[in-house]
A = this chain, B = another copy of it.
Amino acid sequence: MSELAERVLSGDPRAIARLISYSEDGDPRGAEEMKVIHPKAGNAYVIGVTGVMGAGKSTLVCEMARELRRRGKTVGIVAVDPTSPFSGGALLGDRIRMNELVSDEGIFIRSMGTRGMLGGLASAVFDAVEILDASGKDVVIVETVGVGQAEVDIIKIADTTMVVLVPGLGDSIQTIKAGIMEIADIFVVNKADRPGIERTVAELESLIDLSHGPGIRRVPVLQTTAKDSKGVTELLDEVNAHEAYIRSSGRFDERRKARYQAELVEIIRKRLMTLIFDEDKFKGRIESLLERIQQKEMDPYSAAEEILAKLLK
């Protein structure tokens, strides 16, 4: 085993940070290390946190981490910013609060963009979760911003998915219901001290009524005021209850399998796209095909077929 993998497995934060960077950068050394640490991963419980912007998710995640530390658990946090492909940076305002936690050795925090040519959860996010898991963290929290594809994809990586809303969303609660109802294991209405909390909770409960049926676990609605640390204990108790539920019903193994499948898809996608669009072998050809597409001498489908014919067995 390499020195880096050994240090990751022993929980060394600098080694963890470096291996996550390898994954983010597509450094081939990352893949080799990931192969080595895989057998040591799988013990961490993964909590996904998604929801609308401005719902105070980062504050909530910080408070959850604090409470988990009080319960003697070590915590990894992966904050996924779908808006980062351009800036490569974190959402500063929200992240500053997290810095308070950085001095605690039982917590590791990493902010990641969804860089790469296409959306969804990047393979680096899967890797970061597996790295933190293998490093011995008891719980890994993955937070995503917004409600795009990366947010819906969070269910592929999380054992328990929380969808965080705020009071007074009005029409928005209708708007988000299509995709989000299905992914929530737990609804959290944060900023519960704000006006309109009763209405928002009632609307959520009505929506849950629609999808709820006999023999199906009813998705609970929790209220938190993360900035005052209110409701966080109850929320983590609910996560424990959900864990017990999926473990006893066989859904835990199904979710883990779905996670590995999503990870496999993502690794293959990334490798193929790198091969086609980054390597010199294809670059010149693609450039001339694009020229011909623009001149209407060629169409994108025929161009794709030409490239695939060169690529595939």
Contacts and interface: CB of A to CB of B under 8 A. Distances in A.
Interface string A144-187: 01111111110000000000000001111011101110110000
Interface in A5-58: 31-32, 34-35, 38-39, 42, 52-54
Stoichiometry (number of copies): 2
Given A272-B272, A307-B268, A34 B301 contact: yes
B84 A150 contact: no
A289 B267 CA distance: 14
Contact of A150 (B148, B182, B257, B290): B148
A308 B175 contact: no
A171 B294 CA distance: 42
A205 to B, nearest CB: 19
Contact of A302 (B35, B84, B275): B35
Contact of A87 (B83, B178, B303, B311): B178
A86 B155 CA distance: 12
Contacts of A150: 119, 148-149
Interface in A71-89: 81-87, 89
B93 A179 contact: no
Given A87-B178, A179-B85, A31 B301 contact: yes
Interface in A265-313: 265-269, 271-273, 275-277, 286, 289-290, 293-294, 296, 299-304, 307-308, 310-313
A94 interface: yes
The 7 A-B pairs of least Cβ separation, nearest first, read A148-B148, A119-B149, A83-B179, A119-B119, A38-B299, A118-B120, A267-B304
Interface of A: 31-32, 34-35, 38-39, 42, 52-54, 81-87, 89, 91-94, 114, 117-120, 126, 145-153, 169-172, 174-176, 178-180, 182-183, 253, 256-257, 260-261, 263-269, 271-273, 275-277, 286, 289-290, 293-294, 296, 299-304, 307-308, 310-313
29 contacts: A34-B301, A38-B299, A39-B299, A53-B175, A54-B171, A82-B148, A83-B152, A83-B176, A83-B179, A85-B149, A86-B152, A86-B179, A86-B182, A87-B178, A87-B182, A91-B174, A93-B171, A114-B149, A118-B269, A147-B148, A148-B149, A148-B151, A149-B150, A264-B289, A264-B293, A264-B303, A264-B307, A267-B300, A269-B273
